[in-house]
Structure 1
Amino acid sequence: MAIRGKQVLLGVCGSIAAYKSAHLTRLLVKAGAEVQVVMTPDATNFIAPLTLATLSGKPVLVDYFDPASGEWNNHVHLALAADAVVVAPASANTLAKFAQGLCDNLLCAIYLSAKSPVFVAPAMDLDMWQHGATQANMARLKSFGNHIIPPNDGPLASGLSGTGRLAEPEQIVGALVVHFSDPKPLAGKRALVTAGPTHEAIDPVRYISNHSSGKMGYAIATELASLGADVVLVSGPTNLPVPDGTKIVPVTTAAEMLNACLTEFDKADITVMSAAVADFTSKSVADRKIKKGNEEHQFAIELVKTTDILAVLGERKSKRQILIGFALETDDGLASAKEKLRRKNLDFIVLNSMQDEGAGFAGDSNKITIIDRNHVAEEFDLKPKSEVAADICTRIISLISR
């Protein structure tokens, strides 16, 4: 099995679902993993450390050190030795500590020191799970690149029924098996994706923007991560959840997006620039809300061009890097996209349709044409954006495989 010989650090938190950690430990050992269990102090109230020590074949760690012997449980060494850190069950309390970087027990210290993938399997009552604070913490953990194994629906310890049950041990082991299975086609590659609009301020309450929802870029980031890439998503303002396995860098303005891209670009093997960056920004921004006034009059805003981020990256691009741009045209789309492809040193360009029903910014589907360096165009049917992302990533893989 894919996890045979892997070093798995299993974190167990204070939750009634901790009883399932015994079965999870047994399944991991049966699959050939080496399991080191670390419990929070509260977890010992729900299941005895002796049980998990017997099943794992290793002493269970709870505290930083043994007060009797002075022996220190080195959280850094424990973190670095792990091929994966799995926290199951992960309580609302521990999730909050992870999200905020609090470090008052051994498990939290290991989490903050971990270099290996972290898998978090939450367990709590449905109201706790649905609370805005918990959901904000989950979004933050996703933005750190943690893998979330979502809770199941069903009867809960409170007597209520709903989402909050710890994923079954078989599901948790399955997530590890998938992660450690044969290398994915983009394993070891770093990807930079931009998504969403930018907002260019006019005054403290108004801005210039566009209708981009960010859905296409988020779908591409999701697909790249599923193919094994290490993904950084530079996102303008959206209401979308952070894709699993990605690190998000939130920005607002075109200038902020430029700076974020310049920070990440040289490390990237693949860059997909799907954001709808504003072409113009206000030359000056009022420090107070601009009043309409009592009489009818015209009002003019002086605009200046923003920096063409794609052109800047095209100039910096090395031979090992793949750079992809998007073109949204209303007239002479194919000709304009080919010119943009040449001028900005792209490996291929994705021409978006604004003419077809069901395609465009806000919807869940899109219709594209991919144009390569030789100006060969491949037109695709209208598809869900997740499938469009798969088509784009297939073309990326074919370039890498050459």
Structure 2
Amino acid sequence: MFIHYGLYSGLAGEIQGKKYKGCVEWIMQYSGVDSETYAREALPRFKPKRGKAETWVKLAKEAGCVYTILTSRHHEGFNMFDSKFSDFNVKTTKGVDIVKEYAEACKKYGMKAGYYFSLLDWSHPDYDPTGSGISYPKGNYEAQKQGRRQFGNHEKYKDYLYNIFNELLTSYAPVDLVWWDFSQPGFQGDKAWNATALMKNLFEKNPKAIQNNRLYHSANHLSEGGIRVTPAWKGDYSTAEHHIPATGINGDWEACQTLNGTWGYSADNQEWKTSQALIRELIDTVSRGGNFLLNIGPMPDGSIPPESIRIFKEIGFWMKKNGEAIYGTRANPLNIELTWGRLTRKGEDITYIFVYDKPDNGELTIPCSFEGDVKAVLLGGEKTVNMSQDKKSNTTTFYIKNMKMDTAATVIKVMGKRMIHKRSA
């Protein structure tokens, strides 16, 4: 579960009477207001309540998530944790330390605690984006021209970034995962963020922690020419955003996705995806070797929108029956992707077949066969699924004409010795 909650949540997609629809956590940049105007507009409308962080983690647990990632700070520069280095934080403004409550909830529910950490800061006086190629509110540029704002010493900003990250690591341990965001070709790594020092501090505090690749400019978007693996020293995994690579990535990766096209809370956006579509995106991701990170955007007080709760619970219901075909599995072992569904495998003796659409003749044929005693059952009820193998053509056919289908995906578990793949020329 990805959790986008910050000062922008109070605005709910509207500032100075104008509404914005998509990715409203960027509303400061979209509207162009300067940092003083943004704070004046947003602070009164952000009303976090105690106990809400536990509801997020509890829902994640019910949905079958094994890790969560909370926005500890977004590009607006508002820290969701107590800090002695900046008064622009949730503790000094509202008295509720959101990150503290979140960290405690993760411990309570046995959840891996991840933190999104923006490297940008549209409000800090020492942050200087000049020439970086990174989007910045035009209002701050105008304020600088008028002498109302000074771009400071970016080297000092990098010290500030290190100090608040160190606070996160030491005061809210354990930090199991860090989701950095983001860099550009001319503004990345040590030059922009002192990346080496940040990474070293993370691993010294928690050697088992993992991190994504966004301390550097990495190919995580289709607009950048496709998703590619980056060198390990730049991060542990790639982060495909709003996209599931058609053939996966040759390395560790994660696809992050929204429920309605925006990460932060929008009061007007009701373009909710179906749980069926999202379950299939989860399966598509895992069958191609990745993890799936699905977002919620809590409301101004931290409550989860009812539609988000419904979707996550429906996914959780499906996962309770079919989760073994997701957890601890590897990508589809075949060299093709099936038109009617997907495959995952566990070890060399178990294959899971996800059926999206039942063929008209009720027969599913996969281009591989199995050795030794083979058995196929329907996950959930363990009902036997009839099957036959043709060793000559190296195919296996499953007969499901009378099988009752799940609307999202029905899963067949095939237990047999080593699978023999039919390879193309």
TM-score scaled to structure 2, two decimals?
0.31
The answer to which structure, 1 or 2, has the higher relative contact order (CA under 8 A, 6+ apart) is 2
**For the pair shown, which has the larger CA radius of gyration, 1 or 2?**
1
